[in-house]
Amino acid sequence: MLARDLIASYEAFCPPGLSMEGDIVGLQIGTLDKDVQTVMVALDVRETTVAEAIAKGVDLLIVKHAPIFKPLKNLVAIPQNQIYLDLIKHDIAVYVSHTNIDVLQGGLNDWFCDLLGITDCQFLSETTEGQGIGRIGRVKPITFEDLALKVKKTFSLDSVRLISYGQDNPQVTRVAICGGSGQSFYKDALAQGAQVYITGDIYYHTAQEMLTDGLLAIDPGHHIEVLFVKKIAELLKQWQAEQDWSVMVLESSAPTNPFYHL
């Protein structure tokens, strides 16, 4: 089938227009006017991802994180550029779905809520009328530290960072979450009564400001967004069966998380 037809189904589910202003979404490398026999879903496009895609004969990558996120000055064959050169050489198209899958109702942030038992959800910060990034809702009463352990177990993490001075362990019922790097929305979480905010990449000084403002937080890292891979692959396989697509759907298993803890 044509890559364009497969992506049309994806965009009917998750329109690019939901993305936040200035975001990178859509086709970034290659062409959609090509036949696709194998599509692979990945979180990131790193050298490990590209090697896997080449080995498995992938024609189209659907990813959350854009491989090109800052202007290129050249395409000289240095390690970072080799990623792009190899994709082009092997005719592997790359389609990016970034904040539109975060904003989407029934998208990534809602999948996080389902896994963690966060209910009665509303969006955290409005992006367009009736749409928004992040989620906030209720959980059954649970201590802050037990919630952190639940996050760790749910996402199979080797650790989580707790934003707390460690002096108490309150019971909480109202929790906000935003996949990726969502620290800039912490005041939205506060304004909506969150007791705990779950998001990745929290800076040191931002963490201090959160605590001063009365908000606890859990930082599970950016990589929990890898849930995108499983969920989007499941959707593609569902559409494959419903629409009789002659295409193989793969989930990337290449390691791309740069952080591990001893």
| Alpha helices for the chain (secondary structure H) | 3-13, 47-55, 79-89, 99-103, 108-116, 144-154, 186-191, 204-212, 227-243
Assign 224 a pLDDT band (cuts: 50, 70, 90): very high
CATH homologous superfamily of 105-219 equals NIF3 (NGG1p interacting factor 3)-like (3.40.1390.30)
pLDDT at 232: 98
Q: What is the longest distance spanned by two Cα atoms in the chain?
A: 59
| pTM across the whole model | 0.96
Q: Provide mean pLDDT across the span 54-71.
A: 96
pLDDT at 199: 98
Q: Provide mean pLDDT across the span 86-108.
A: 98
pLDDT surpasses 90 at 213: yes
pLDDT at 168: 87
| Alpha helices for 90-226 (secondary structure H) | 99-103, 108-116, 144-154, 186-191, 204-212
- pLDDT tens digits for 151-184? 999 999 999 999 999 988 999 999 999 999 999 9
Percent of the chain with pLDDT over 90: 97
- pLDDT tens digits for 129-143? 999 999 999 999 999
Q: Provide mean pLDDT across the span 232-243.
A: 97
The CATH architecture to which 3-100+225-250 belongs is: 3-Layer(aba) Sandwich (3.40)
Domain spans in the chain, listed from the N-terminal domain onward: 3-100+225-250, 105-219
